[in-house]
Structure 1
Amino acid sequence: MTKIGVFVGSLRKDSWNRKVANELVSLLPEGYETEFFEIGNLPLYNEDWDQSGSVPEVVQDFRKAVAGVDAFIWTTPEYNRGVPGVLKNAIDVASKPMQDAVFAGKPSLIASASTGSMGGFGSNHHLRQTLVFVNSPVVAQPEIYLSFIDKAYDESGKMKAGTRDFLAKGIEAFTKLIGHYQV
């Protein structure tokens, strides 16, 4: 069974990006299991932890959980043309010390969503750049920018077929990429 770690870059209770993450997870074929990483209570990264050997228990547990998955789904809003601080902090907390390489060789799928016209373009590329640095291969196509996400759902709260079909193409590319990295 392939285990997928899911990062949602928004802490909002009714986050559009959490809804998108749930849709993406629902589109995974059989043979995949998921774990959502709750990142809102992580302390801000401090390199002194690793240098002094005093890594907080919550950080140790988080690092172990991230190391225990095979690939990642990321959903993110855009704050000031970048990823929310809470998401960047989660990457920094998990990826240190660098020699542990918890993201290396583990494929990632990025989806960004916003109620505006850019669909989180800036945050999507900011996240992509960071994931390249930590050596996580990222799905290149399709690039998932969901503009006007508040219009992507019908009156009953169900995602409209066109958007869901687009996300399905992303999941298809993601599972193919995972297949290239599994031995």
Structure 2
Amino acid sequence: MNWTDERVEKLKKLWSEGLSASQIAAQLGGVSRNAVIGKVHRLSLPGRAKAGGSAPAAANARPKRPATPAPAPQRPQAEAPRILPRTTMRPNDVAVMKDGGAPVPAEETSPVTATSGNVVVPMTRKLALTQLTDRTCKWPVGDPMKDDFHFCGNDCNENSPYCTYHARLAYQPSAERRRMR
């Protein structure tokens, strides 16, 4: 189908009257809705208001203010384990970090009870990758690009690559993860 001057003028007239591309295609005959839309774009005819609203009503309506987003609910964040300074403890000793104090060796504390203010952190053996075995914890510590990078190296269960402490960090129950969000 060729677009003659008469058909183009009729298209412009029908388009300005607000008819849809399907209605214009039906009145012109022998042309598809997509052909009408393509010709409208090539002619750079002005667009019309979206369906469901009229242009005068949209012009008279007061401008909408941007909605201020509601503040995001605060998520409880898990307390990150604190890194302890190097002490004279043996590799498998456990230290209790008091709320701002220094680590207390496990021998000096009565049975270690982790209350809400205490964080129990195992001392690492600082093994290199080549020193790891099937029975050592493979939890990475530090930045791999730095010289002081190492692995935990504490004893682990035969069915886990991590010691008990790091296994609890790595494998959290799904219900607990949902609560953290």
Q: Same fold (TM over 0.5)?
A: no
User: Greater relative contact order (Cα 8 A, min sep 6): structure 1 or 2?
Assistant: 1
- Higher helix fraction (1 or 2): 1
Q: TM-score, normalised by structure 1?
A: 0.24
Whose radius of gyration is greater, 1 or 2? 2
Q: TM-score, normalised by structure 2?
A: 0.24
